[in-house]
Amino acid sequence: MIAVIGGGIIGLSIARSLRARGAEVTVYDPEPDGTGGAWHVAAGMLAPGRESAFEHPRLESLLEASLALWPEFAAGLGDVGYDTTGTLGVALTADDHVEAAREWRHQKLQPLTGSQVRDREPALSPRIRAGVHAPHEVQADPRRVVAALRRALAGRIVARRITDLGEVAADTVVVAAGCGTAALTGLPIRPVKGQVLRLRGEPGLLRHVIDGSADGRHVYLVPRADGEIVVGATQEERGDSAATAGGVHDLLRAALDLVPGLAEHTLTEITVGHRPGTPDNGPLLGRLDARTVVAAGHHRNGILLAPITARLVADLVLTGSDDPFLDDFAPGRNGCA
């Protein structure tokens, strides 16, 4: 019997992989039908280049390997809003362009002029100075993904808050409890607050994910087919759950600077979540002891990394696999013990 602690996107994806390979699995989560996880706030950008820069040296490879698994992962879950239109990176001012160009060069993306990006996405502001097209950086809807995973695991998810791993009757315990993993294991995982907005209007204003800077304010806009646009996100080294005037103002100001037509949209949600950060902001994946495996600390990339985390952890638990990624992201690595 295998217990998975945490019913967020990581825990559920692992449990589904274990089940698919014939294992007996129970997932423990205090609110198995709730909306308390980081997945509920997340926009669902599947964007290795955008979210990996200059952190753990192997993070980009891990993100790319997981992106390659997404088509099969999504297909196995039904309609989860997996959309391959791609991403436009955009810079509003000359200063934004200098800053963004560093990342775009690192990602080897072909520069576009302002009018070239507007040809692809006419709702963008005529003030936009430059951009890039990243066709491989796509999106899925995390809320639909979790709903599909919950359906796939019906009857296997128990409503219980685990405060001590000794309480759980299981041969193997996989701790995938996001920020809650710190209290259960002592591992250095910290909450990194993110405020995210949801706007709603006529479908079709945007087709691409927009990832941009406007006067030094970074924002991403993730359009769904039904007219919702997710606007994210602040990144704050704190653990409170307050939506702030400054946070909402910065996101809306940058969003409207890049896409003026959003002014007519309705603001339907303000949510606050906590990314589980680690000292090098790479996830912690692997064995803590003979009984305990950890899969946590996915920071900005929990949605993108769900498929590879599920595969690596299922292999480790069921076959003892020593995939090189498990060395790179071992929980005991430098600074992460």
Per CB under 6 A, residues contacting ligand GLY are 45, 51, 194, 232-233, 275, 300
How many CA atoms are closer than 13 Å to the CA of 96, on its beta-carbon side?
A: 23
Q: Which is nearer to ligand GLY, 15 or 45 (CB)?
A: 45
3-state secondary structure of 61: helix
Alpha-carbon dihedral angle through residues 9, 226, 81, 122, given to the nearest 10 degrees: -110
Q: Which is nearer to ligand GLY, 201 or 273 (CB)?
A: 273
Q: Which is nearer to ligand GLY, 133 or 300 (CB)?
A: 300
Q: Which residues contact 187 (CB under 8 A, 6 or more apart)?
A: 181, 278, 284, 288, 294, 296, 297, 331, 336, 337
Minimal distance in Å, beta carbon 302 to ligand GLY?
Answer: 8
Minimal distance in Å, beta carbon 198 to ligand GLY?
Answer: 14
Minimal distance in Å, beta carbon 131 to ligand GLY?
Answer: 19
Q: Are strands 157-159 and 25-29 parallel, antiparallel or unpaired?
A: parallel
Q: Which is nearer to ligand GLY, 16 or 218 (CB)?
A: 218
Q: Which is nearer to ligand GLY, 233 or 262 (CB)?
A: 233
* Whole-angstrom distance, CA of residue 217 vs CA of residue 213: 5
Q: Which is nearer to ligand GLY, 66 or 172 (CB)?
A: 66
3-state secondary structure of 76: coil
Minimal distance in Å, beta carbon 129 to ligand GLY?
Answer: 24
Region of 286 on the Ramachandran plot (φ > 0 left; ψ -120 to 50 alpha; else beta): left
Minimal distance in Å, beta carbon 211 to ligand GLY?
Answer: 10
Minimal distance in Å, beta carbon 292 to ligand GLY?
Answer: 27
Minimal distance in Å, beta carbon 300 to ligand GLY?
Answer: 3
| One-letter amino acid of 216 | G
Per DSSP, which regions of the chain are E strands?
Answer: 2-5, 25-29, 45-46, 87-91, 111-113, 130-134, 138-139, 157-159, 172-175, 190-200, 209-214, 217-223, 228-232, 266-277, 284-287, 292-296
Q: Which is nearer to ligand GLY, 180 or 194 (CB)?
A: 194
